[in-house]
Structure 1
Amino acid sequence: MTDHRPNRPRVYVLGGAQTDFARNWHREGLGIEAMMREVMTEGLAAAGLEPSDVEAAHLGNFVAELFCGQGQLGGILAGLAPEFSGIPTSRHEAACASGSMALMAAMADIEAGRQDLVAVLGVEFMRNVPGETAARHLGAAALAGCEWQDARYLWPRAFSDLAEVYGERYGPLDYRHLGEIARINYANARRNPKAQTRGWHFGPRSFQADDAENPVIEGNVRRNDCGQVTDGAAVVFLASEARAARYAAARGLALSDLALIDGWGHRTAPMRFADKLREGASTPFVLPHVHATIRDAFGRAGIADAFELDLIETHDCFAMTEYMAIDAFGITAPGEAWKAVEDGVIAADGRLPVNPSGGLIGLGHPVGATGVRMMLDAANQVTGRADDMQVEGARRAGILNIGGSATTIAAFVVGQGPA
């Protein structure tokens, strides 16, 4: 995919906010409306915007109907401020990539000239039911009645199967590498004041194949390999170049002080995991469409490889997902992600830090909010506003967001506006 600027309309990120992912809103007696209201209020304040500035809104959410018995989330958003009543809203669903689909739609609105400033809000309310019930609800992203029916926890089983396929293709995986991916993400999360696990403590064998400190959940997936079940929301505000220029001028800023969505990729694979594996059987990659989506984003951004990025926020619903992402980004050759782990490439102080936020494992994974949260963290990094998570000198960030068993894939490159 070759689609680099200058003729494509530019879309900027003006700012936003996320909720504290450690909160259990159900225990506080609060619901999804309160979560949406809080993040929108905080996001507007953080970006220095008024509700009247927002011309449209897109929402990412997976299964509010199952967790909350609630649909029509656009109507909830329209009631968050009097100025929102009447603006166009749309909801987008693609399992764990729902937030990225909302971002894509908002970008398209701006690129088409329909609106100049659009809110993108991702939200998921998940901690109001027992864990096994949550697992069943989240299983809606697999083909109903057809996949992993014998599993107690469907998604750990699915990504355990991915690990087995990697082992068959490239040689057995060493659990030490998966454990180190998890350890890095939890360590990064300790620097994130909004992370669900920031106060968690681990024992000396918590990231080893130890059945006491790190028990098996399904197959070869262990407890500390898993992303979290999280209540949370995130919002960002996207703007056209003309609107971003006015925004910057009013604050004594240059466009180069703002984050720019410089590239994107979006592909959808067949629902059945077995069908995905068949498509990759004759290629170097187990899941070639993931690599292709990232290459689409690179092409649109005009970059050659992952090492033109300064950091990556990637989907790590399980440690194995990040292991797969390492070679999908081209950090290593296919099947050799262990080299990047052993060499410290992905560590917070490595050549290419991965998930300085803590990722889905450390920060948390409110499903419909994750893609929006990734965009917020990437934008904060490239504008120097990531506080204790800041990657020194960061100017360009990559994002990979995955829905289901790698069914929906979204990738972005986020940089800085032109000087």
Structure 2
Amino acid sequence: MATEPIYILGGYQSDFAQNLARTGGDIGQLFIDTVRAGLQATALDAADVDVGHVGNFVSASFTGQAHLGGFFGHVDPAMAYMPASSHEAACASGSMAILAAMADLEAGRYGVACVVGLEVMRNVSANVAANNLAAAAWVGQEWSQAEYLWPAAFDDVLSLYQETYGVDYRHLAAISEQNFSNAKRNPKAQTRGWKFGEQSFAQNDEANPVVCGNLRRQDCGQITDGAAVVFLASKTSAQRYAQQRGITLESLPMIKGWGHVNAPLLFKEKQRLNHNQPYLFPHVDALFRQTLKRAQLEDIHGVDGIELHDCFSITQYMILDHAGLNKPGEIWKTLEAGTTSPTGSLPVNMSGGLIGLGHPVGATGVRMLLDAYKQVAGRAGEYQIENARNMMTVNLGGSTTTCVSFIVG
């Protein structure tokens, strides 16, 4: 069913290098500060916002704080009684909040929506963090003996690729090295000041120790405190916003297409469903196809850049392998050709991605949409893609259980 487009008025991202446990901050103040900064960045009055949506995965486990939508009432008096709701889908929580806000606007209930994604994760030990994050798998049914569940899960993804096609670790290392390099140009990236040595991306047990199986330290996304906010508007509200500021409606980026696919929670069931399928994760292939179709793009070559879910280097490898760039299992050819590099025809994770920028779980989907907005609006600063017209996001929750994508143009 055709609907009017949803426009992005702008937003804001917190500094992902911050550590709230060290600075004495808390998740409530992070929420309030981020929304206030977003209102200022977009020159919106709080009274212009009709509804709020929050993406968060496990704040109750990490901070003891739930019911996050209530913080809108502390941002500004005009938001004291504003309707709000929260959304959880593991690492895709932020994207689900975006989809819910879009549905509100498309239904005509509201004109402007504020979508916040946030997570505080650096206030506990690595073991506690791993246990909290394990809730995105089927608890007690898979990887229950693993010290760190998600490295074990995505090492299984890597093993599946190795058994089916073969994987050269140099290609995974190149993904990580590029994302860390991209992050150095992002003033909000967690790792922007990190330094690496000659062996940091090699199979060197001292410089790049094994975390689980064949995954090493530099293959992993970051545990991060952070938040991001975007403001979405219906066409009528976007026109009013543009007129008040003396700009054209056409100058505002809009969501041209979206995709949403859910798969069974168990990784083994996902493997069973890929039997005799051309792709190892056929639902990720379906995600690309439905998103491109809704955006009226023939194929991935109509996209100028992608912000995608690199919770591990193999995750980025897998997602790109399903994008239609090569035959299944041959994405290494695209990587070696430099297509996804900053100077290639399809730059990937110019922000630094989850590996370089950081991964505050509930914020990631919102942050991706904000970066897509920045690219097509020409506001990405030092990590700007030249002449970016269409940007895609790909956000995954769990072992590719919840898959959401957007195309902004």
Instruction: Please give the range of the TM-score, normalised by the shorter of the 2 chains.
Output: over 0.9
CA-to-partner distance for each residue in 1:1-47, whole Å, 9 max, x for gaps? xx6xxx42110000000100000011111100110011111100111
Alignment of 1:143 onto 2:138: yes
Q: Distance in 2 between matches of 1:152 and 1:77?
A: 37
CA-to-partner distance for each residue in 1:252-288, whole Å, 9 max, x for gaps? 2112211110000101100000001111121111111
Q: How does 1:184-333 map to 2 (within 5 A)?
A: 184-333=178-327
CA-to-partner distance for each residue in 1:335-364, whole Å, 9 max, x for gaps? 111111111111111110000000000000
Correspondence for 1:112 among 107, 116, 119: 107
Tell me whether 72-81 or 9-18 shows the greater mean CA deviation. 72-81
Alignment of 1:179 onto 2:173: yes
Question: Which AA in structure 1 matches 2:390?
Answer: R
Q: State the partner residue of 1:96.
A: 91
User: Normalising by structure 2, what TM-score?
Assistant: 0.99
Q: How does 1:366-377 map to 2 (within 5 A)?
A: 366-377=360-371
Instruction: Report the secondary structure of 1:105's partner residue.
Output: helix
Q: How many residues align?
A: 409
% identical equivalent positions = 53
- C-alpha deviation, 1:236, in angstroms: 0.1
Residue segments in structure 2 that go unaligned for 5+ positions in a row: none
Q: Distance in 1 between matches of 2:114 and 2:324?
A: 32
Question: Which AA in structure 1 matches 2:345?
Answer: R
Tell me whether 331-340 or 374-383 shows the greater mean CA deviation. 331-340
Q: State the partner residue of 1:152.
A: 147
Q: Distance in 2 between matches of 1:331 and 1:193?
A: 31
Q: Distance in 2 between matches of 1:253 and 1:282?
A: 52
Instruction: Report the secondary structure of 1:26's partner residue.
Output: helix
Correspondence for 2:399 among 383, 400, 405: 405
CA-to-partner distance for each residue in 1:274-306, whole Å, 9 max, x for gaps? 001111121111111011012111110000111
Q: Distance in 1 between matches of 2:110 and 2:240?
A: 15
Moved over 6 A (4+): none
Q: Distance in 2 between matches of 1:305 and 1:237?
A: 28
Instruction: Report the secondary structure of 2:20's partner residue.
Output: coil
Q: Please give the root-mean-square deviation of Cα atoms over the aligned residues, in Å.
A: 0.8
- C-alpha deviation, 1:79, in angstroms: 2.2
Instruction: Report the secondary structure of 2:198's partner residue.
Output: coil
Tell me whether 74-83 or 11-20 shows the greater mean CA deviation. 74-83
Q: Distance in 2 between matches of 1:133 and 1:401?
A: 24
Instruction: Report the secondary structure of 1:123's partner residue.
Output: strand
Question: Which AA in structure 2 matches 1:128?
Answer: N
Q: Distance in 2 between matches of 1:360 and 1:157?
A: 18
Alignment of 1:345 onto 2:339: yes
Question: Which AA in structure 1 matches 2:323?
Answer: F
Q: Distance in 1 between matches of 2:388 and 2:250?
A: 13
Q: Distance in 2 between matches of 1:304 and 1:184?
A: 28
C-alpha contact 2:72 2:82 (8 A) present in aligned 1 = no
Question: Which AA in structure 1 matches 2:352?
Answer: G
Question: Which AA in structure 1 matches 2:360?
Answer: P
Q: Distance in 2 between matches of 1:62 and 1:191?
A: 28
Q: Distance in 1 between matches of 2:403 and 2:104?
A: 20
Correspondence for 2:6 among 3, 7, 11: 11
Instruction: Report the secondary structure of 1:331's partner residue.
Output: coil
User: Normalising by structure 1, what TM-score?
Assistant: 0.97
Correspondence for 2:75 among 80, 85, 102: 80
- C-alpha deviation, 1:332, in angstroms: 2.0
Q: State the partner residue of 1:131.
A: 126
Q: Distance in 1 between matches of 2:216 and 2:299?
A: 32
Q: Distance in 2 between matches of 1:246 and 1:51?
A: 15
Tell me whether 68-77 or 363-372 shows the greater mean CA deviation. 68-77
Alignment of 1:396 onto 2:390: yes
Q: Distance in 2 between matches of 1:209 and 1:330?
A: 30
- C-alpha deviation, 1:77, in angstroms: 2.1
Question: Which AA in structure 2 matches 1:41?
Answer: R
Q: Distance in 1 between matches of 2:33 and 2:401?
A: 31
Correspondence for 2:65 among 60, 70, 73: 70
Q: Distance in 1 between matches of 2:69 and 2:296?
A: 35
Question: Which AA in structure 2 matches 1:75?
Answer: G
- C-alpha deviation, 1:210, in angstroms: 1.1
Correspondence for 2:48 among 48, 53, 75: 53
Instruction: Report the secondary structure of 1:217's partner residue.
Output: strand
Q: State the partner residue of 1:334.
A: 328
Tell me whether 161-170 or 94-103 shows the greater mean CA deviation. 161-170
Q: State the partner residue of 1:362.
A: 356
C-alpha contact 2:32 2:74 (8 A) present in aligned 1 = no
Q: Distance in 1 between matches of 2:243 and 2:148?
A: 51
Question: Which AA in structure 1 matches 2:178?
Answer: I
Q: Distance in 2 between matches of 1:256 and 1:361?
A: 34
Question: Which AA in structure 2 matches 1:86?
Answer: Y
- C-alpha deviation, 1:150, in angstroms: 1.8
Q: State the partner residue of 2:378.
A: 384
Q: Distance in 2 between matches of 1:294 and 1:306?
A: 8
Question: Which AA in structure 1 matches 2:103?
Answer: A
